[in-house]
C-alpha cells in the first residue's frame, strides 16, 4: 500500500482493481473497492487499522464494472456513482452473480467466495460532478465518460492526486466494449490540464501524466484509421479485419489472453466505427434540413 499524501492511500496489488481511501476528521472516503471478497475483507481491516476505526462514510466508484464495485459490501452501504452506473447496477441480479462466479470456474477457491455476494447499489448519484467535503478534506468526483458512459474520476485538488479509474491504462490494450473514443481522448486531455502529481489508474502501477502519451496515440490512431476506412466504404467487419493486425502490436499481449484481447480490440474498432457513422448521418441530416 502507498501513502500518496498524508492519510491518502492506494493499493495496486489486488486482483483487477486499484482501490484507495482518504481519512478525514469525520471518517473515511473510499475510492473503488477490491473485487475478490477475501481481498475486500482484508482491505477493510487495513482501513480500520490505519484510520483508528473511524466509520467509512462513502465508497465512490469510478464505474459499474465488477472490478470496481463488488467490494463495497465489505466497506459501506453508502455508495456514490454516476447515475448511469446506478442504472446498470440496479439490474445486477442472479444472472449477473452467476456470471461473476463463472468467471472463476478455473479457480474454485475464489469462486466459492462469491456465494454470498451482495450488490450494493449506489444510493447517491450525480449527472456531471459532485464535490464531497468532510472536515478539511475535499474530493471531487468528475464525470468524463470515455471508457464507459458512466466513467468518473476522483480528484483530490489539495493533494493533487487523481484516482482515474479505467480512463488510464498502462502497457495494455484498453477495454473498449462500452467506450466512446472521442470522449476518452477528451478525458486524457482533461487529466493533463489537472496536472496531478500522482495518477492511480484502475489497473497497473501509479504514474504521472507522461504515461498518457501512448494511450492517446493508440486511441488517435484507432479513430483515424477507422474513419479513413469508413470513408473508403468498408463495412464494420472489414474495418476490424484490417485494423486488428495493426493494433495488436501496440501493447504486449500474453499468449494465453490473445483471443480475449483480440475480441477487446474488435469491440473498440466497432465502437469507433459507430461514432463515425453517427457523426456522418448527423451531418447528412443537417445538410438535408438546410
Dihedral over alpha carbons 17, 272, 195, 56 (to 10 degrees): -30
Verify that 162 and 195 share a domain, yes or no: yes
**pLDDT number for residue 281:** 80
Q: Is 206 helix (H, G, I), strand (E, B) or coil?
A: coil
Of the residues 207, 234, 264, the one at which a domain ends = 207
Verify that 201 and 238 share a domain, yes or no: no
Select from 214, 169, 177, 176 the least CA-distant residue to 16: 169
Q: How many domains does the chain have?
A: 2
Verify that 34 and 117 share a domain, yes or no: yes
Verify that 198 and 226 share a domain, yes or no: no
Verify that 181 and 237 share a domain, yes or no: no
Verify that 43 and 135 share a domain, yes or no: yes
Sign of CA dihedral 95, 145, 229, 265: negative
Verify that 190 and 222 share a domain, yes or no: no
Interior angle at CA 47, CA 148 and CA 119, nearest 5: 45
CA–CA distance, 44 with 58 (Å, rounded to integer): 13
CA–CA distance, 160 with 185 (Å, rounded to integer): 21
**pLDDT number for residue 257:** 87
Residues in the chain, pLDDT under 50: none
Q: How many CA atoms lie within 13 A of 111 on its CB side?
A: 10
> In sequence order, what are the beta bridge partners of 179?
none
**pLDDT number for residue 2:** 94
**Straight-line distance from the first to the last Cα atom of the chain, in angstroms, rounded to the nearest whole number:** 59
Verify that 149 and 19 share a domain, yes or no: yes
**pLDDT number for residue 191:** 97
**pLDDT number for residue 179:** 94
3-state DSSP helix/strand/coil percent for the chain, to nearest 5?
45, 20, 35
Verify that 191 and 230 share a domain, yes or no: no
Verify that 121 and 238 share a domain, yes or no: no
Verify that 197 and 223 share a domain, yes or no: no
What residue ranges in 114-228 does DSSP mark as E strands?
A: 124-126, 129-134, 137-143, 152-156, 161-165, 198-201
The range of the structural domain enclosing residue 6 comes to 2-207
Q: Which residue has the cell 453517427?
A: 278
CA distances from 247 to 18, 80, 193, 268 (A): 26, 35, 28, 10
**pLDDT number for residue 238:** 93
Of the residues 163, 189, 207, the one at which a domain ends = 207
Backbone angles phi, psi at 250, to 5 degrees: -65, -35
Verify that 237 and 283 share a domain, yes or no: yes
Contact 134, 147 (CB under 8 A): no
Of the residues 174, 207, 240, the one at which a domain ends = 207
Amino acid at each position: 500500500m502507498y501513502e500518496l499524501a498524508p492519510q491518502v492511500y492506494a493499493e495496486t496489488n489486488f486482483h483487477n482493481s486499484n482501490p484507495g481511501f482518504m481519512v478525514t476528521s469525520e471518517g473515511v472516503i473510499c475510492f473503488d473497492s477490491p473485487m475478490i471478497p477475501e481481498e475486500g475483507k482484508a482491505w477493510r481491516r487495513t482501513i480500520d487499522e490505519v484510520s483508528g476505526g473511524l466509520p467509512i462514510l462513502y465508497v465512490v466508484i469510478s464505474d459499474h464494472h465488477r472490478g470496481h464495485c463488488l467490494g463495497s459490501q465489505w466497506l459501506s452501504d453508502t455508495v456514490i456513482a454516476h447515475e448511469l452506473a446506478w442504472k446498470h447496477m440496479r439490474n445486477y441480479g442472479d444472472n449477473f452473480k452467476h456470471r461473476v462466479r463463472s468467471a472463476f470456474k478455473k479457480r474454485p477457491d475464489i469462486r466459492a467466495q462469491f456465494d454470498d455476494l451482495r450488490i450494493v447499489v449506489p444510493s447517491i448519484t450525480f449527472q456531471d460532478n459532485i464535490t464531497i467535503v468532510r472536515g478539511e478534506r475535499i474530493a471531487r468526483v468528475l464525470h468524463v465518460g470515455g471508457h464507459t458512459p458512466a466513467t468518473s474520476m476522483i480528484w483530490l485538488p489539495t493533494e493533487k492526486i487523481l484516482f482515474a479509474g479505467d480512463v488510464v491504462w498502462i502497457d495494455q490494450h484498453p477495454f473498449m466494449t462500452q467506450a466512446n473514443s472521442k470522449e476518452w481522448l477528451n478525458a486524457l486531455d482533461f487529466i493533463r490540464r489537472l496536472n496531478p502529481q500522482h495518477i492511480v489508474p484502475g489497473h497497473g502501477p501509479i504514474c504521472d501524466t507522461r504515461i498518457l502519451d501512448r494511450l492517446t496515440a493508440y486511441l488517435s490512431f484507432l479513430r483515424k484509421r477507422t474513419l479513413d476506412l469508413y470513408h473508403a466504404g468498408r463495412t464494420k467487419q472489414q474495418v476490424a479485419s484490417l485494423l486488428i493486425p495493426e493494433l495488436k502490436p501496440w501493447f504486449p499481449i500474453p499468449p494465453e489472453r490473445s483471443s480475449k484481447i483480440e475480441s477487446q480490440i474488435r469491440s473498440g474498432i466497432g465502437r469507433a466505427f459507430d461514432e463515425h457513422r453517427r457523426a456522418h448521418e448527423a451531418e447528412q441530416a443537417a445538410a438535408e434540413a438546410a
